[in-house]
Chain A
């Protein structure tokens, strides 16, 4: 059995920046109704930079590990820089090919970020915004 590479397992077991920040500047949650995955992101912004983040929620290794990895990337970036992150950037982190269903798991964290931080309501996995 060799399902996911070590980095995913490691982030899944010990997710980075986990918790809920209160008070915070951004607070948003998204769900994947298909599998019940739930992911919430709280962010503190200072000088237009993402200064602190807290993820929380539950779900599969892919959705939780990508959130953890994505968090490490956006931390310290300006809001505008973080906004430029694309679906491809996230998929590169995972390093295995995913079917359409699991793609939603992988991109849940990006969706939370896009909708929560930039108000892109209705953002979909195939959106280039």
Chain B
């Protein structure tokens, strides 16, 4: 991409900064916030804040319970949000969308509801080495109860799934589930999901996709991917915290027992026997996060208004620019695929400077990044490092912010090297 078009692109995007009131905040007097921790959570545009306020101001009531007007209004808003998610991920039916608190809860739902009903002693679950703890630990917990085994799928030095090793693992004939991130929150790898899923299906295994880091940044089509389950977190895509979603193929969800019990998820309750509600209510016990769902619907409308392709292209431009800058700093080691093959984030180490010290130095300059193991301890162990620093972009970040970040990393490097 030529320098001119990069600038044009990022300038176009910069127009959207004004939609995010928090971006005008100061970290300290005269130190503006430079928010580059978007893989952890994203900021919220006014459209989302308004939608939540509007919901509470004009229609708050419980859903699916009352026959009064406000309950009907609230239910309509809640179900409209579900349909927005359906359309956003490319699902056929809104019944295939379950609201959860976040991606973590969505994965736990599959692990427990599907896993406990289907896993047998000696069965295998494959989990890639680049997974977030959210896509490792629930599988371990359920496997332990079922007598099944969780096996790691190795990754290559440049942060890609080792497809030969994956094929070999699938050959055991005992693999029932494969748990894969769409985009790695540490390496930025965009996994070739369609291929990986096809390989799993060929041996009769299902695939749960952790879409926490892809859904916010690129168009998603669960049908084209042929994903069996797909988890996302609203807060990583401009929606409030406390709302997420699980997509599941209808036939699979219909065959699964509930995850949690309570109100809303039942058909008929007697002390002799309780029967469960149809999809999606069967998996939504208790009063849901209605305002969060409304906020998620508004966030999806906002992102689609800008265009997921445009957001992805903008972030790729920023990460390429940033990685070129970091490569010039002495002692910087970046992890994962090359700049032209990744999402808009990079994790790196700086020789002689611990990630916490680097992050403290960046914070002095108003720059927010993530330092630590990013909930991926097995991956950090693989690369032989205790902690790394991660910079992650979103639609509202600018070329100037990327430059400011690179210059500050260089300044911290000089501070420790003197």
Contacts and interface: CB of A to CB of B under 8 A. Distances in A.
Interface string A32-59: 0011111000000000000000000011
> Which secondary structure dominates chain B's binding surface?
helix
Interface in B397-416: 408, 411-412, 414-416
Contact of A3 (B364, B373, B387): B364
A58 to B, nearest CB: 6
Contact of B415 (A3, A36, A38, A59): A3
A59 B385 CA distance: 11
Interface string A1-29: 11110000100000000000000000000
B91 to A, nearest CB: 37
B412 A3 contact: yes
Contact of B356 (A1, A2, A38, A105): A105
A1 B415 contact: yes
Interface residues of B, number: 20
Nearest to A57: B386
Contact of B412 (A1, A38, A105): A1
A115 interface: no
Given A35-B386, A38-B386, A61 B372 contact: no
A62 B372 CA distance: 15
A3 B386 contact: no
A3 B360 contact: yes
A61 B364 CA distance: 16
Interface residues of A, number: 17
Contacts of A61: 354, 357, 416
A69 B222 CA distance: 56
A36 B357 contact: no
Contacts, number: 51
Contact of B387 (A1, A36, A102): A36
Contacts of B339: none
B355 interface: yes
A59 B353 CA distance: 9
A60 B411 CA distance: 17
Contact of A59 (B354, B373, B416): B354
Contacts of B90: none
Contacts of A36: 372-373, 377, 380, 386-387
Nearest to B387: A36
Given A3-B361, A36-B386, A102 B414 contact: no
Contacts of A4: 357
A56 B331 CA distance: 23
Contacts of A1: 361, 364, 408, 411-412, 414-415
B367 interface: no
Contacts of B416: 9, 61
A102 B411 contact: no
Nearest to B372: A35
A38 B354 CA distance: 12
A37 to B, nearest CB: 7
21 contacts: A1-B361, A1-B412, A1-B415, A3-B357, A3-B360, A3-B361, A35-B354, A35-B355, A35-B371, A35-B372, A35-B373, A35-B387, A36-B372, A36-B380, A36-B386, A36-B387, A59-B386, A60-B354, A60-B356, A62-B356, A105-B356
Interface of B: 354-357, 360-361, 364, 371-373, 377, 380, 386-387, 408, 411-412, 414-416
The 9 A-B residue pairs with the shortest CB-CB distance in the complex, in nearest-first order: A36-B386, A60-B354, A60-B356, A1-B411, A1-B415, A36-B387, A61-B357, A60-B357, A35-B372
Given A36-B387, A62-B356, 4 more contacts: A1-B364, A3-B361, A36-B386, A59-B354
